[in-house]
Chains A and B, each alone.
Chain A
Amino acid sequence: MIIEAENISKLYGSDENKVIALDRVNLKIAPGDFISIMGPSGSGKSTLLHILSGLDRPTTGGLFYDGKEIYSFGDRELSAFRRRKIGFVFQQFQLLPVLTAKENIMMPLLLDRKQPEEAYLAQLTELLGISDRLTHLPHELSGGQQQRVAIARALIAEPDIVFADEPTGNLDSKSGGEVMELLKSIRGKLGKTLVLITHDHRIAAMADRQFSIEDGILSEVTAR
């Protein structure tokens, strides 16, 4: 799935309070790309990720998935698009506290009235090392384990692309390293597109394509 961002800008406030979070960003993501976006706090990297993943509308510009402008979709269509085509990994894990690890993982499928393919679920949880944690509630898991569950949830619906918002930001360095290795390895095995934002140079360096963002202006650090 090819993702194209064309002249995307995002403005907050008005008049003297106006803040330009993103300034005419252009970006093309090819299938299988591993992209990192790095920048200091308030640079606009999270805003860009939210717009790219269909969570927040740009003020101007367009976002196309295989040539289709996704912000022209209605709520139902856009929601379905997100749960079928996009996976998310958040910094704060964002697991639903009343659901077990397995139920959290299955959630995107359940919303589509689908049941998980047991073999795929087993493969995924095996890869992430959480097979024996599936009946645990989030508060019974460590931070690293919670993030693995979140990764499994992002991948269960076999999306084309995974967006990760500082996935190691809330983990210690050991767990953070493990999570990144897992993300890399799964991307390789499952052939997914991965877009992550970070302010960690080492993590950013793992990506095939590295971008930096400052004052809302995006620039690619590595040439393809």
Chain B
Amino acid sequence: MNSYRTLAWKELRAQRVTSVLILIAVILSTVMTTVIGQSIGILNAMQQSQAINLNGNRYATLHQLTEEQANQLSMDSRLSYAERVISIGRADIKNRKISVLLREYMGNALSAYPSDAQLNSGRLPEKAGEIALPQNVLDMLAFQGELGDSVSLDLNISRLKDTEAGYTYTRDFVLTGILKSNYVGYVSGTVHGIVGAGTAESVLPDRYMRYSVDIRTAEKKSFQSTINELALQYGIPEYCIQYNDTMLSAAGIRYQSNADAETGTGFSYMVLTGVLIGTLVLLASGLVVYNILKIAVMKRVREYGVLRAMGAEKGKLYLLVSLQLAILCGIGIPVGILLGLLSARGVTTAASGFFNPAVFLAGSEAELAAMIAEHAGSKMLPLLASGGITIVFALVSAMPAAQYAAKVSPTLAMLGQTTTIRRRNRNPKRIRSFEAFYARMNMKRNRGRTAVTILSLVMSITVFVALQSFSGLLDASKDVQKMHLGDYSVTSQGIGFSPEELAELKNVSGIQSVSTLKYSLYQQDENGKLIGMETSIRLQPGETMQVIGLDEERLEGLDASLPESARQALRDGTACFIQNPIPISVDGVDAKNTVISAGDKIAVNGVSLNVIGVLDSPVTLENEGFVNGVQIVAGDSVYDEMTLKNEYTELYPTLTQEADRSSVEQAIQQLCGKNGGTWLSYANTDRQLMESYEQIRLLAWGLILFIGLIGILNISNTVYTNIHTRVAEIGVQRAIGMSAGSLYKTFLWEGAYYGMIASVIGAAAGYICTIFVGSAQTDTVQLVSIPFRSIAEAAVISIAACLTATYIPLKRIAKMNIVESIETVE
């Protein structure tokens, strides 16, 4: 033997089983930490992909720009992406609450909207007068023709905050392509069509030749300041800046909210999730290495004692342990990283390939792959962390044993370490199940090992519960989904639906509830007097008065922070919300507009109301809030008093889970047939949004699986070690009359206790994490609803996993010979 390096290597080879166990622990730990690191990157990419799919690959859009402004922006070095789009007008689809907005994409602009550009057949428009429309739009238009046929559309184009009514025209287009149906636009009532280059110039008067420029800033961090600089430099008013909230929050970019001009959070839940989950997982993985190494090195204490007796110095002993670890880590960590990278890729492939690829960025799979590569491949930090954490835990776990062997006398070291058992309660109550009792006692035998096992499991459960809650936050589609109520939108602007018809609809089998809205519009006559309305509100010229009656639940939901007294006032019909008119400018001069504040008192047709809040956005699809005026939003019954009408204009039925959609739709169709109503199903929209979210959900589950594996590995290792170190004891128990079944039960109880204790602690920790993330979202610490389902799932899964993990090493017991077991020297 030339050196300790040779001895270290020889020892490793001599104790193959232990060495292989440690090597597996090192590899698995590295695999898991690598997968987690990679998956979080990929998850982030997925979330951004989802956001792109929903709302375009753009951080913001600057509207109503002149050609010169648009050209200058295209060349601005502060922007990594700036492409121009011109809207040529909006065509309402008859009997539907949907309009199709035709846009001419210039240069590479269409690449930002992958979900709008997927062709079913034909080709994208190239020349002026050519058009491509989604299949669902053509169906709604009852278009019977083929590609190459003419499509005639009545279009209207208006400018933002314009005093003019807009420009209306009719135009025939040549259909060159049929796009795949995209239902996301249903929630806002707008779907998109594409027209060929030069169309805008050929159909629009100069006044309406205004460009929208989709942008992405070169620097994410300075996004808001760049926007502010651009606005100042190019004279872009605030109302012409449209932030893409979905994309900005997915990318974790701080920005100023368009609606209320307050600072938006721009908070990346992904970052928080990543940090939290990453820490937990790294710790859990580290504990696996710790547990296995600790047991393995403790077994070697005797050998170290022999070495000491032979004259090895303490330092040499440390060197020997370190060298052995270095060899194992040197092999295990690179292998682990490699396997981790492959596993992460596998998870991603499964995640992106499992569902309908057409929904998830079909047509831009290359872009998705590039994004995944960008987020996964180049992240060296998780890879370094994976290796680092394994080495740290390996050293932390191995050194105490080496230290013990180095410190104690060689004789004691050769005897091996004995653990002293401590028990406080020595007079337990009546022991009903010896197996369960003995399992509890066994857990006290090596408290450190028990604690580490439970801790690693707790971390897995915490991550499970927390990740389930987080994954909801990661869902970029939620913002879009919450924009629509119910499963259908049923509207009748003219006649409206009577209370009797509503009652009939509510009685239709499969309809769970119906959210309602009543709407009345009052305009001023030439003298500035409201027609059909007496009110204390003094409107500015051109403004309208709109009275809206909502059902109780929706009305109170408009402001979740309302005190109970205000809610009661809403229910009593003595209070209302107000939405003030939008300030407009005429020829560059700001026009005065009516402003009503919370706390004001108003009177409408003899009904007095206290204004308890001012709303930011319209609550009705009616005219999409474009008809400027004061909106009074109150309860259903007080609406009747104010307007002396009781018809409903918008109904939003929500179905039961087992509802038969076709029979419900038949009933809705009948209802609309009677009074000229129109209806729209959100089924396809929700399905599309759900499917885009499924990708993220699946990946999150992949992550959970890996984390679960860490816990199971630790339990299996602990149980295996417990069996291994208690062979003689097991033999004695069997000799005294314990059946193999009874012995199984003891170990299974141990596993179940691990699961139960870890479930309770993990559920609490997971809940705390959920509150923590929820607080980060709202900037206030508030209790969120307890995720009972996730907790119950975690408890059941972890106990089942513990039992399975325990059962596997138990097979060894069945093969044990009682006499040989008793004679085993431990």
Residues of A bordering B, CB below 8 Å: 50, 53, 55-56, 75-76, 79-84, 86, 88, 90, 94, 96-100, 103, 106-108, 110-111, 113, 115, 135, 137, 139, 153
Contacts and interface: CB of A to CB of B under 8 A. Distances in A.
Chain B binding site: helix, strand, loop or mixed by DSSP? helix
B207 interface: no
28 contacts: A53-B735, A55-B818, A56-B818, A75-B740, A79-B734, A80-B737, A82-B735, A82-B736, A84-B737, A90-B822, A94-B729, A94-B822, A96-B438, A96-B732, A97-B445, A97-B729, A98-B438, A98-B441, A99-B438, A107-B434, A108-B736, A111-B736, A111-B737, A113-B433, A113-B434, A135-B427, A137-B421, A137-B426
A100 B421 CA distance: 11
B742 A79 contact: yes
B663 interface: no
Contacts of B442: 98
Contacts of B822: 90, 94
Interface in B425-459: 426-428, 430-434, 437-438, 441-442, 444-445
A213 B433 CA distance: 42
Contacts of B427: 135
Given A80-B737, A81-B737, 4 more contacts: A111-B434, A111-B736, A111-B737, A153-B736
Interface residues of B, number: 34
B110 to A, nearest CB: 72
A110 B431 contact: yes
A113 B738 CA distance: 12
B145 interface: no
A63 B732 CA distance: 21
B728 interface: yes
B36 to A, nearest CB: 37
Nearest to B444: A98
Contacts of B426: 100, 135, 137
Of A90, A98, A108, A137, the most chain B CB neighbours within 10 A belong to A98
A111 B430 CA distance: 13
A79 B732 contact: no
Contacts of B441: 98-99
Interface of B: 420-421, 423, 426-428, 430-434, 437-438, 441-442, 444-445, 728-729, 732-742, 817-819, 822
Contacts of A96: 438, 729, 732-733
Nearest to B441: A98
A115 B430 CA distance: 8
A55 B445 contact: no
A4 to B, nearest CB: 21
A82 B738 CA distance: 9
Contacts of A103: 428, 431
Given A55-B818, A100-B426, A75 B739 contact: yes
A98 B818 contact: no
A7 to B, nearest CB: 21
Given A79-B734, A98-B445, A137 B819 contact: no
A110 B434 contact: yes
Contacts of A98: 421, 423, 438, 441-442, 444-445
Closest 8 A/B residue pairs (Cβ): A83-B737, A79-B739, A110-B434, A98-B441, A94-B732, A82-B737, A135-B426, A56-B819
A76 B729 CA distance: 19
Contacts of A81: 737
B733 to A, nearest CB: 7
A76 B741 contact: yes
A59 B244 CA distance: 82
A50 B817 CA distance: 11
A166 B681 CA distance: 86
Contacts of A135: 426-427
A82 B733 CA distance: 11
B739 A88 contact: no
Which of B430, B735, B736, B741 is the most central at the interface, judged by chain A CB atoms within 10 Å of its CB?
A: B736
A107 B728 CA distance: 16
A80 B441 CA distance: 23
Contacts of A97: 421, 445, 729
A135 B423 CA distance: 10
A50 B735 CA distance: 9
A111 B732 contact: no
Nearest to A76: B739
B826 to A, nearest CB: 11
Nearest to A98: B441
Contacts of A83: 736-738
A135 B741 CA distance: 28
A50 B431 contact: no
B420 A139 contact: yes
B724 to A, nearest CB: 16
Most B-side CB within 10 Å, residue of A56, A79, A80, A111? A79
B401 to A, nearest CB: 21
Nearest to B740: A75
Contacts of A80: 737, 739
Contacts of B739: 75-76, 79-80
Contacts of A110: 431, 434, 437
A205 to B, nearest CB: 27
A110 B435 CA distance: 9
A80 B728 CA distance: 20
A72 to B, nearest CB: 16
A193 B449 CA distance: 44
A140 B818 CA distance: 27
B423 A100 contact: yes
A90 B819 CA distance: 12
Contacts of B819: 50, 55-56
A90 B742 contact: no
A81 to B, nearest CB: 8
A135 B735 CA distance: 24
B735 A55 contact: yes
